Every structure is written in structure tokens, then in C-alpha cells.
Amino acid sequence: MLPTSSTVDRDTPSGSVRGLSLDGCEVFSGLPFAQPPVGGLRFAPPLPCPPWDGTRDATAAAPMAPQTASRMFTALGPMSGEQDENCLTLSIWAPSGARQAPVMVWFHGGAFLTGSGSQPWYDGARMAREQGVIVVCPNYRLGALGYLAAPGVSEGNLGLRDQLAALHWVRDNIAAFGGDVDNVTVFGQSAGAHAIAMMLASEDADGLFRRAILQSAPFGLEPQPREAAFERSQIFFEEMGLERGRAANLRAASVERILAAQDWAGARLRNPRRGDFTPPFAPVVDAPWQAGGTPLWKAAAIGAARRKVDVMVGWTRDEGALFLSLLPDRAGIDGKFASSVAEGLFGDAAAGAVAAARARRAPPDDAALCEELLTDALFRSGSLAFADALSSRGGNVQVYRFDIESPAPELRACHCIDLPFMFGNIDAWSGARLLGGAERSHLDSLSIDIMTRWTGFARGGGSTRSAWRPGARAAMVIGHSGCRTVAVEDADLF
């Protein structure tokens, strides 16, 4: 028998809202945290949403940001749902009767091009109900609509500004849902973790969160200099048939045309042979980013230490396997290809990076070597540098490595393999090749353990046994048999 639901009302500073009470959890969907970025507000920074009269219905999921299908969906399974530029909304899952509950705000990944906080993948009901936390999942602008940087159109970083606007809304309204405004944890994966790293380095995020969990943060993807971003945008404008500065024409263009042009630009700019999977549109060195030319990992560590933000940071052991699996000729990767990837990622340090990759993982072939080089350059090295920098400044940081493997042999412990375990929503990934053939009860047991660890960190910073400290590095290794704490005597081999 399906559980019965009833409506529940909450009065917030923004106005009254009506959600659903279902099986010990209150759910509010599609709440606006900023004005719709449509018409004259396309390519404009988010503006506060004025309070509304009456009671706003929050019982149905809101549209996700406009996007096209990702190549990664071949492994993750399809993402479906209504799309609309009116997408600056968030969903809330709160335990029934919550009082001063920890708040966890999730920023989804998707290479700044795809994703949605309102997807079933990220349904927060189970985490809220079983772990006693409030889960908030915002949507934010993506692709050209969120990260195009071009003179006369946008200075860039609109998606990041949207995320900050969502956190401001949480600060001002979450108490109405039983949340503790002084105990907010942001957590995100891939592009979502990248955004959190940029927030850590930005004074604009002061006072908005107390803890942060960075999952597979691509620290190797530095914010682009504005001029470089402007030049990359030219390919997009060429496909649109516009001069780069024709802002008015771009604001009037159809969403379908914009999406088609951004896909074309992505295909033109991507260069896997050089290890370059950089999205066509990504964050730039501009407000709210305030660190100039400082490396992202260092700027984030300095900001976290200054604001005393507790941080958990980690990566999946074989991040690069997902990216290489998308290539049509992966089986044909040879030594020449691997050398080109190494040079593209590491430049003059390529030979040393290859030697380190072989010592660390003993890759059995050239394709596996490329995967390890991508893992190191984009995720692993930056995460370790961040942890060292933060701990050396007295910060509280925990490090983990996610070793749970996909049943698909070519994917192993790849990028995104952690996602099905975060919210306890194993069934939402039933069509994913990522988990195809895995034993359901075992996956569920692992998921409960991971949810418990993540929410435990949100409550109070987590176990001191796994703290990463100068001269005494300890890290969590999350595998099929559970989580163990290991001493990292040689970080180069971890």
C-alpha cells in the first residue's frame, strides 16, 4: 500500500508555501529563490524574488535549466523532465516536526552544461527522514545561459551567482522549515564541487555556510581569464551567426538555437587527444571570484581557513575512466595518444607525471594510463594540495577516496560512481550502466553507511580519526566492504 500524503503549510519571509507531508517527511518543490531570468533578465545576475501574496503551491517539481543530453548519460542513465529558462527554484525535504535541524544544500554536477537538483537522483526524502537533516537542492543556469562570458552580453559566472542567491534564500528562509541557519553544509559533485571551491575563495559567501563537502572537485579546471573566455565564446557566436557584441540579438534568440550552438562550440573546443575535456562554458576570473591568478585549490584553502569552514574533500579512485569510456576509439588508444594526453595535461612535467601514475596505479595499458593521468591532473592532485594547504593553516579537513567499483569493467571506480549512494536513491539509478548487475541489498547497505557519514559530518564535523593534518595524514577509503581509515605515509602513492 502506498503511503498517504497530506498538505502542509509554512509561513516564510518570502510568503506562505504549501507542500506535501509524506511518510515522515515534508516536501516543498519549485520554490523560487530569484526572479525568472527571462526576457530582459536573460544574461543578467539573479535578482531577489519579491514576497508573494497568498499561498504558493509547492507540491510539484519545477522545470530544470535548459540543456541537451550529455554523453555521460550512456553510463548514468537518462535525465528527463520539463525544461524552462524560469528555473531558479529549489526543493526542500525536511523531517516532519524538524526543529533546529542541520541543513545540507546540494549543488549538482554536469560540466556546467547539464543536471538538475529536482531530478529523482537527488530526491532528499530518505536522507531527511532517516538522518534527521534538511536537504535543499537548487537549480541554476547552465551552458551559455549560465556561463557565457562575452563583452556586452555577460561577464560570466551567472550560474555561480545563482548558487549564491540560493544560499542567501536559505539563510533568510530555512528556519521556517525547521532548519538551523547557523549549521548549513554545502555539498556538491564535479561542477557543483567546483562552485563550492570558488565560494570558499569568495567573500560573497561569508556567513552562508559552516561546512563543505567537495566530491570530485575538478581543481585542475582553473577559472578562465576573461580574455580567454571571450575568445572561446567567438566560436559560439559564429555558430549563432552573430557578431560577438550583438547582445540584443542573443537575448531574443530561441533557447533551442542557443543550445544547438553551445553543443557545436563544445565539439569544436574539446580535444581529448590533449586530455582537454574543458566545457565550452565554465567559470571565469571575475566577480564573485576574487582570487585573481591564485590557483583554485590554494584560494579555496585560504578562504576556508579564514572563515573556519570545516571541509571534507575526496575523489573517486578512477575518475578518468568515465571520460575515456566515452571515446569511440578507446580500444585503439596507444602510446602516442597517451604521450599527447600527458603533454597536454602536464606540459614539461609530463615525463614525471607518467612515472608517478605508473608507480601509483600500475596501469595495465595505455588507455588506463590516460585515465590515471586525467584523474591526477583534474581531481586528485588538486584535492591533496587543497587538504595540505588548509590543514597547514589550522583548518579542519578530512580526505576520502571512493573505491567502490562499477560492475562495468571499463568504468571501475569512475567519475560519478559515488552519486547513487549519496541520497539512498539506488532505485533511481536502476537503468544506469554504472550499476547494472550489482546486488541491490549490498548497494543499499553501502548507501546507508555513506549517508550516515556525510550527515554526521554536517552535524559536527565528523570523526577526528580521519582528520588530515600536517605530518599525520589520515584518510577514509570507501570500498565494497565499507569505510576504513588509513594512514597516508606517501601522498604521491595515495
Name the residues annotated as catalytic: 190, 319, 415
Grid cell, residue 20, equals: 506535501
What value does the CA radius of gyration of the chain take, rounded to a whole number of Å? 22
Instruction: Give the Cα separation of 450 and 103 in Å (integer).
Output: 17
CA pseudo-torsion sign 424, 72, 120, 99? positive
**Counts for the chain of helices (H) and strands (E), in that order:** 16, 14
Length of the chain: 494
In this structure, are strands 211-215 and 179-189 parallel, antiparallel, or unpaired? parallel
- Beta strands in 50-171, from DSSP E residues, in sequence order: 55-57, 89-95, 101-107, 134-138
Report how far Cα 150 is from the mean position of its chain's Cα atoms: 24
Q: Which helix (H) or strand (E) holds 213?
A: strand 211-215
| CB 260, CB 93: distance < 8 Å | no
Report how far Cα 482 is from the mean position of its chain's Cα atoms: 24
CA pseudo-torsion sign 389, 394, 396, 402? positive
